[in-house]
Amino acid sequence: MAQRSSGGEAFRPTRFHSGAFDDHATDLGRTGATNGRPCVAFRTQVASGPYQTSGCLMCDHIDGQTWSEWRRFLLTGNAVCATD
């Protein structure tokens, strides 16, 4: 079942995507919905190891986390969505 994102386009669960995050290419990128919220998860690879990042759109911001197994830390964070 497709949901609508804030931009009006269809949001289809479990689609695979590619792109960049923090100037590093992403791989294994997925989008989906959790409790009716659009969410994203992806992995980036830097010279010293991989990072797994995920987040969900919560009204006007994104709540998420980044996990680094090789550095043994979990960083939670949020980002304010840009407005036109």
User: Tens of pLDDT along 13-52?
Assistant: 555 666 777 778 888 788 888 788 889 888 888 888 888 9
* CA neighbor of 26 nearest in space, from 52, 50, 49, 44: 44
- The pLDDT score that the predictor gives to residue 65 is 93
Identity (one letter) of the amino acid at 26?
T
pTM summary value? 0.66
Residue whose pair of structure tokens reads 């010293």 in the numeric block: 48
Whether the CA torsion 81, 59, 62, 4 is positive or negative: it is negative
Q: What was the pLDDT predicted at 63? A: 92
**Which residues, at least 6 apart from 61, have a Cβ–Cβ distance to it below 8 Å?**
78, 79, 80, 81
Mean pLDDT, rounded, of the chain: 77
Planar angle of CA 48, 50, 36, nearest 5 degrees: 155
